[in-house]
Amino acid sequence: MLNVSTHLNKNNLHFLGCLILVVALPFSSFLISFSLILLVINWLRPGSLVQDLKSNITNPFVMLCCSYFLIHIIGLSYTENLSAGLNNIKNKLPLLILPIVICCSSKLPVKQLKILLYSFIGSNVILSLICIGYYIPDSSRLWFDQNLSIFISPIYFGLTISLALVLLFYYSYKFRDSISRINLILRLFLGIYLLIFLALIQARGAILSIAVLTIAISGYLILFKKNYILGVWKLLILISLFGCYYLFSPNAKSNIQSIPNDIQSYLSNDKFTYSSTAMRLILWEASLEVFKKNQYLGVGTGDVFTELKKEYLNRNPDLIRNSRVKGKPMNCHNQAIQSAVGLGVIGIIVFLSMLIIPGIKAYQTNNYLFLMTILILFISMLTESILERQIGITTFSFFCSLFYSHQKL
């Protein structure tokens, strides 16, 4: 009787830790840290720890995440900025903790999984409403302003909202026969609201990832499932929403229209520009140059920002006056390049393997939720170094671990 009670309490605490984490993701680093501590302490309690560890330690996703963390530890041995390296390791702890704790624990019941995922959706919706309510007195700030995201960076709020949208539409489609028509309509309007909020906070990376995912799903429905109506319907909704975004957002117009000019300016070596597109192109060029000089081992876990900034400013000395550059740490704005610069060829191989190998297995087992999550995260990683901040690492580690280990979601 005591063993049964202990087992139940351990499972309940595991669920509580996961619940706190998903609710806290869009707004509180303190609660994220608290939930991680709770999950680890609970996982180490007496129970079926050894058995769960033995049966899941060969899980490909767990092994790859642990390997990626381990090479960051090794990178400390040849880094010059040890303080920055240790801080990097601290930020990446969720990449070690969550895959082991989630994949090597008893699977959550379906009811608890639904509570977790709907709580995550609810947290994003409520926080977006709070953001809007905060700026209602100054209504001019409600229209296409990144400052509307008052809790975290719009980049990461956009990431969590895009994952919430994936969950919302995935479950609405999967259980469409058992959901009332009114419920489906409410979910549709809720999804449209979240898409509008993404536009309001100018979360361009999230908007791009949702667009690419929608096109991929539409193509799959049309080409493989022969469901032409649903596939075309999704594309028409996407085109309509992007048309409205382009027409009503002045920033969208200027950003899209400036892209050809930014690329032309970059190609003509007129690199003294502060535009987002041009600065990313220059950053990628500088990052690849640093990688060429340190191909095999990289610059070390703690020296990426230092070496990148040195190369960046050597190439563009005028940018030292730019407040967006001066005095601020820099990253590569691309997670693959970030891994290559810091850890060399091994780093980029392990990073890509961490996405591709589990993705292939998910495709083979029809684990579409994991595939969609990986796609959203991968697209976000093309323009941002998502795994360099706690919220990005935790979002990646938690949802990929959960969806990979619970394949019948």
Domain layout of the chain by residue ranges: 2-252+334-405
For residue 252, name the pLDDT band (cuts at 50, 70, 90).
low
Of residues 234 and 217, more confidence is placed in: 217
- All residues at 6 or more sequence positions from 177 whose CB lies less than 8 Å from its CB, including other chains: none
What's the confidence (pLDDT) of residue 360? Answer: 92
Structure tokens at 355: 């996405």
Of residues 70 and 9, more confidence is placed in: 70
Query: Which stretch of 123-137, 147-161, 315-329, 340-354 has the lowest confidence by average pLDDT?
Result: 315-329
What's the confidence (pLDDT) of residue 53? Answer: 65
Q: With 50 as the cut, is the pLDDT of residue 2 above it? A: no
What's the confidence (pLDDT) of residue 269? Answer: 61
- All residues at 6 or more sequence positions from 10 whose CB lies less than 8 Å from its CB, including other chains: 42, 45, 47
The stretch 73-95 carries a mean pLDDT of 94
What's the confidence (pLDDT) of residue 323? Answer: 44
Give percent of the chain with pLDDT exceeding 70: 81
The stretch 168-195 carries a mean pLDDT of 88
For residue 1, name the pLDDT band (cuts at 50, 70, 90).
very low
The stretch 43-52 carries a mean pLDDT of 70
The stretch 79-93 carries a mean pLDDT of 93
Taking each helix axis as running N to C, give the angle between helix 304-315 and helix 335-364, from 0 to 180 degrees, rounded to the nearest 10: 120
For residue 8, name the pLDDT band (cuts at 50, 70, 90).
low
What's the confidence (pLDDT) of residue 378? Answer: 94
On average, the pLDDT of the chain sits at 84
C-alpha 60/C-alpha 360 separation (Å) is 11
C-alpha 379/C-alpha 205 separation (Å) is 8
What's the confidence (pLDDT) of residue 159? Answer: 95
- All residues at 6 or more sequence positions from 339 whose CB lies less than 8 Å from its CB, including other chains: 347, 348, 350, 351, 387
What's the confidence (pLDDT) of residue 4? Answer: 46
Q: With 50 as the cut, is the pLDDT of residue 358 above it? A: yes
The stretch 382-388 carries a mean pLDDT of 92
The stretch 369-398 carries a mean pLDDT of 94
- All residues at 6 or more sequence positions from 98 whose CB lies less than 8 Å from its CB, including other chains: 36, 39, 394, 397, 398, 401
What's the confidence (pLDDT) of residue 50? Answer: 60
What's the confidence (pLDDT) of residue 141? Answer: 59
Q: With 60 as the cut, is the pLDDT of residue 324 above it? A: no
